[in-house]
Structure 1
Amino acid sequence: MQKNAPIGVLDSGVGGLSVLKCLHAALPQEDFIYVGDTARTPYGPRSEAEVRRFVGEIIDYLAGRGVKLVVVACNTLTVLGVETLKGGHPFEIVGMSKGAELVLAASPSKKIGVFATEFTINSGAHKAAILAKDAGADVYPKACPKFVPLIEGEQFGSAAVREAVAEYAAPLKAAGIDTLILSCTHYPLIQQEIEAEFGSGVTVIDPADATAQDTQAALAAQELLRADGVGYLEVCFTADMKRGARIASRVLPAADCEFAEIKL
């Protein structure tokens, strides 16, 4: 592995752009290649076998681009077990932080909500991680299947988004949560709407910053951190590049990005 090699970042669509933003902020000297599988999103309702095949294709592509590490910027994929996604590739794979310590530190009452995809919620991984840190916590998971299609469809600030947020928030508000973790990387793209629905009494946590810290630590442990320079952002999609670029411009400095549509 070479220090000057790029870092790969992958997601089922545009959601991982929220993680790329945090990675770029934490590691501005590094080069990044992002792959969003917009041709086949959403992954949440798909079978595990199908999801694993898709991820394997993306990781093979990134390996061909000579990356030194891959960040799986998707909670649905992370719960599969990042080591099981590695195949025979030599680079390390970093998954999304489950954010257990973050939410417990932010929650006075230890009543914690989890917004995620159906796949992630059904895995029980985030609830288990929180309870492993504090068995006395009350965790309220809620699958939000309408969110990803709305976000991928650029329905930001729309009535449809507000209605979906209100629907999924209702049982968590009734339970009296004081902290909510966004356990899907798409969801920070509508964090404003989510925070507005819950109000100031609920702290909304995005675990992307913790994932960026995990990535920095993994590179440092392998002595693969670049010491200086200004990195580039290559943002690739498997379909609808112009739409992806528009969404990317909401969270990234678009002038610093090079966009491309690729085939896997």
Structure 2
Amino acid sequence: MLKPIGIFDSGVGGTSIWKEINKQLPYESTVYLADSKNAPYGIKSNEEILRLSIKNTEFLLQKDCKLIVVACNTATTNAIDYLRAYYSIPFIGIEPAIKPAALQTKTKKIGVLATKGTLSSSLFHNTSKLFAEGITVIEQEGAGLVELIEAGQIDSRKIEDLLKKYIDPMLEKNIDSLVLGCTHYPYLVPILKKMLPSKIKIIDSGEAVARQTKAVLMKNRSLELENNIPTHTFYSNSNLNVLKNLMDNYDVSIVYKDF
């Protein structure tokens, strides 16, 4: 039996990453773990995020995964160094796409919408310092957004009101790029496009993560290129309806698992 790629997130947001991986690596099987019961990770302590990340990793290792994608910005910024040091399996992390935003900006001002756990992490600050020298990075915590997305309220008035509250101050400061620093947030792109002037670029990490996953598998000679009929199993410890709606157009199995 071929080993799958493992993916975990604090809920359904990492499915935005899964979709990019599935697009770029169509012959790879996957196991996705949605820890929705404990969402959002962004308001938890570093110790709690690490504990949950270890628990998720152990679950995916039991499924014989060959590589694990930490499809959560907060878990990446707070736990991936430990996971890489403790486990021998390769880990692919997610962090806000500061570098491409910094390279593209004309106004020298970029906005970052992320969770508290990501914005307060040393990895985020080190990345900003490394790639955004001479550029103003306007940070905004997206409090409440993950909870609404997990509740299936992506198109709700509550989401629109929160986004307007968070985005308007960034627009006033003349940003020309908006970095989405949480894997849940790409599901808000249709709403954001209505709010933002067309000149403002919305940047997330999904495509880059899929490319890096492919590169690591190629390096390890474990990439499935053809002649493999993949299987995709999604596990969640919460209501399955939101996950089912987001994955409606894909041939996947969705299973409730109390972990």
TM-score range normalised by the length of the shorter chain: over 0.9
Question: What is the match of residue 258 of structure 2?
Answer: 263
Contact kept, 8 Å, 1:10 with 1:16, in 2: the verdict is yes
1:57-68 to structure 2, matched below 5 A, reads 57-68=55-66
Q: 1:37 aligns with which of 27, 30, 35?
A: 35
Hey, what's the Cα distance between the residues in 1 that align with 2:211 and 2:124? 19
What does the per-residue CA deviation read over 1:42-64, in whole Å, with 9 as the maximum and x for residues that have no partner?
Answer: 11111111111111111101101
More off after superposition, 146-155 vs 17-26: 146-155
Contact kept, 8 Å, 1:131 with 1:137, in 2: the verdict is no
Task: Report the RMSD for the aligned CA atoms in angstroms.
Answer: 1.7
More off after superposition, 81-90 vs 131-140: 81-90
More off after superposition, 116-125 vs 65-74: 116-125
Asked if residue 231 in structure 1 is aligned to residue 230 in structure 2, the reply is yes
Letter in 2 for 1:261: Y
Hey, what's the Cα distance between the residues in 2 that align with 1:145 and 1:103? 22
Contact kept, 8 Å, 1:237 with 1:262, in 2: the verdict is yes
Following superposition, the deviation at residue 230 of structure 1 comes to 3.4
Following superposition, the deviation at residue 126 of structure 1 comes to 3.5
Contact kept, 8 Å, 1:104 with 1:130, in 2: the verdict is no
Q: TM-score, normalised by structure 1?
A: 0.92
Hey, what's the Cα distance between the residues in 2 that align with 1:135 and 1:113? 15
Hey, what's the Cα distance between the residues in 1 that align with 2:122 and 2:245? 33
What does the per-residue CA deviation read over 1:113-156, in whole Å, with 9 as the maximum and x for residues that have no partner?
Answer: 00000111122644542441241111111101111011111112
1:40-119 to structure 2, matched below 5 A, reads 40-86=38-84, 88-119=86-117
Question: What is the match of residue 120 of structure 1?
Answer: 118
Question: What is the match of residue 242 of structure 2?
Answer: 243
Distance 1:101 1:86, change over 3 A: closer
Hey, what's the Cα distance between the residues in 2 that align with 1:201 and 1:130? 23
Q: TM-score, normalised by structure 2?
A: 0.94
* Percent identical residues: 28
Q: Secondary structure at the match of 2:50?
A: helix
Following superposition, the deviation at residue 160 of structure 1 comes to 0.9
What does the per-residue CA deviation read over 1:149-195, in whole Å, with 9 as the maximum and x for residues that have no partner?
Answer: 11111112221111000000121111100001101000001111122
Question: What is the match of residue 185 of structure 1?
Answer: 183
Alignment: residue pair count: 258
Hey, what's the Cα distance between the residues in 2 that align with 1:187 and 1:26? 21
Q: 1:196 aligns with which of 185, 194, 197?
A: 194
Extract structure 1 runs of 4+ deviating beyond 4 A.
none
Gaps of 5+ in 1: none
Contact kept, 8 Å, 2:95 with 2:124, in 1: the verdict is no
Question: What is the match of residue 213 of structure 1?
Answer: 211
Contact kept, 8 Å, 2:49 with 2:78, in 1: the verdict is no
Q: Secondary structure at the match of 2:78?
A: coil
Gaps of 5+ in 2: none
Hey, what's the Cα distance between the residues in 2 that align with 1:240 and 1:95? 26
Hey, what's the Cα distance between the residues in 2 that align with 1:128 and 1:190? 27
Hey, what's the Cα distance between the residues in 2 that align with 1:242 and 1:151? 12
Hey, what's the Cα distance between the residues in 1 that align with 2:24 and 2:51? 30
Contact kept, 8 Å, 1:11 with 1:35, in 2: the verdict is yes
